Amino acid sequence: MNRQNKPAFGPAILLALGVGLIAMSVIMLAAQNQGGEGFAFSAGSGFGGRLSVAFITGLTTGGLSCLAVQGGLLASSLAHQIEQDYAGPVRHKRGKKDKLVHPQHTNTALPIGLFLLAKLVAYTLLGFLLGWAGSFLTLSPLTRALLMIAIGIFMVGNALRMFNVHPIFRYFSIEPPKFITRYIRRTAKGTDTFTPLFLGALTVFIPCGVTQAMMAAALATGNSLSGGLLMLAFTLGTSPVFFIVAYLTTELGARTEKFFMRFVAVAVLILGLVTLDGGLNLMGSPLSFQNLSRSLLPPESPASVQISSSLPNSQGAATLYVENDGYFPQTLRLAANSPITLSLITDATYSCARDFVIPALGFYQLLPDTGTVQVKIPAQPSGTRMFFTCSMGMYTGMIIFE
Amino acid sequence: MKKQTFSVPDMSCTNCAMKLESLEDDLDGVREINASYHKLQMTVEFDESKLTVEQIIAAVKKKGYSAVPA
């Protein structure tokens, strides 16, 4: 088909795509507010809640992080189109007079859409494979913590690279092998439909830090369907931001891109620090930001002060409420030098707070969404601080033995 | 065939290296280009009878970068 005869993808189609993606986001957000019950694929496991968390992670952080890492592939897929569109005015002879004809500007919405569609399919398949592989192995909280710390360092290094802090940070950017880049480059000169589809699928080889964390989560599901759905929800979440920003940067030009890259660098830096902090939480390290602030600062909110229900009774028992937004109370003060039975109570809890970890004890259990699980804590000397967290290092708390 | 290394200080990502390597397809007389974002360098293997260093520098400039023979 002649380039001039190609259909132009005007603002209406772009708007429809954007509205569609945002509508999906709203539906998923609404589902999360309902406790994710509508998406409970695994009966009684609250897996829908996890899908919502994965989607929101993609929507809020994954999109930017992925764009920072995979933007190059998207740019390659758009390069040919843009090169054609902006090849410059063509001089056509008309008798003795030359006439300047500007080529029709084809919108980049379609290739971006195709790129994202292929990415969605590829990552869903990857999640399927990871879940299947995960059925043969289990990631311990320590392994997951080390993975998160490594990912956090990778993300912080990438952010510092984007800020041009020091040449050493350039090595945080992975250079694909020459034969792959050559193959991608030659493919990018192919047909307009195939190129973005193919390059979108290739993004599985260059996952961003947040994506890698989600891949670890897919592996941890130990189920191919759950792994596939988790990656689908996450990748779907990354799509609106990816789409909007990629469209704006390709349409608005280099100046916007420069501004945007600064914005992405800040976002990736924050995300990297959060991931690093999550890894430290999961290791039970007192050096994580949350544990450090909890140890150094006096409790301010009612959630972090000692409440009567958490006091150990004469039999050495205490209660911790595991809710969708964390643990209550966040700080438990228990008697030293005597064993304690800690009751973990869940009531329609679907968030990752259910994946309860006490790193110092090597205790890790996925709690039922509603019910009580008891943990036997051996006697601890006075002054011991024992940290507990969810398996993602997001929700945390501390037990002080005194 | 001549091998010439250039310093390209304004590369900002691995995609820049990919863009520079695409000159392989654009410039007649080029046998191979290896660009590295990590080193901010590119090495061009080319036929001196068909291409000059100045022409390579001009082509790099056209891509939006500046190349200086190392």
Give the residue extent of every domain in chain B. 15-69
Compute the nearest-CA separation of B48 from chain A (Å): 23
Share of chain A above pLDDT 90, in %: 16
CA neighbor of A242 nearest in space, from A124, A108, A71, A120:
A71
A237 or A256, which is more confident = A237
ipTM (interface predicted TM): 0.81
CA distances A19 to A14, A237, A240, A250, B35, Å, are 8, 14, 9, 19, 40
DSSP string for residues in B8-54: -TT--SHHHHHHHHTHHHHSTTEEEEEEETTTTEEEEEE-TTT--HH
Q: In the structure, what pLDDT confidence band is assigned to residue B31 with cuts at 50, 70 and 90?
A: very high
Quick: pLDDT tens for A281-296.
Answer: 989 888 888 888 877 7
Q: Which residues of A touch B (CB under 8 A)?
A: 71-72, 75-76, 167, 170-171, 173-176, 178, 181-182, 184-186, 189
Would you say residue B22 has pLDDT above 50?
yes
The encoded tokens of residue A136 equal 């043969």
Reported confidence tier of residue A43, pLDDT bands at 50, 70, 90: very low
Mean pLDDT of the region A380-401: 89
A299-401 architecture in CATH? Sandwich (2.60)
Average pLDDT (A231-236) is 92
Partner A contacted by B23 (CB < 8 A): no
Say which CATH architecture domain B15-69 belongs to: 2-Layer Sandwich (3.30)
A258's tokens: 């420069």
- Give the residue on B whose Cα is nearest the Cα of A72: B15
* Single pTM value for the model: 0.64
Q: DSSP letter for A299, please.
A: P
Q: CA-CA distance, A25 to A31, in Å (whole number)?
A: 10
Q: Which positions ≥6 away from B11 have C-beta within 8 Å?
A: B17, B20, B35, B37, B40, B65
Query: For residues B70 and B42, is the Cβ–Cβ distance under 8 A?
Result: no
Give the start-to-end residue ranges of the domains of chain A. Answer: 10-283, 299-401
Q: Average of pLDDT values for A297-306? A: 54
Q: Taking a C-beta distance cutoff of 8 angstroms, is the pair A277, A393 a contact?
A: yes
Which helix H or strand E contains A333, and what residues bound it? strand A331-334
Yes or no: say if A57 and A236 are a contact pair by the CB < 8 Å rule. no
Q: Is A139 exposed, middle or buried (0-12, 13-18, 19+ CB in 10 A)?
A: middle
Q: Coil, strand, or helix at residue A223?
A: coil
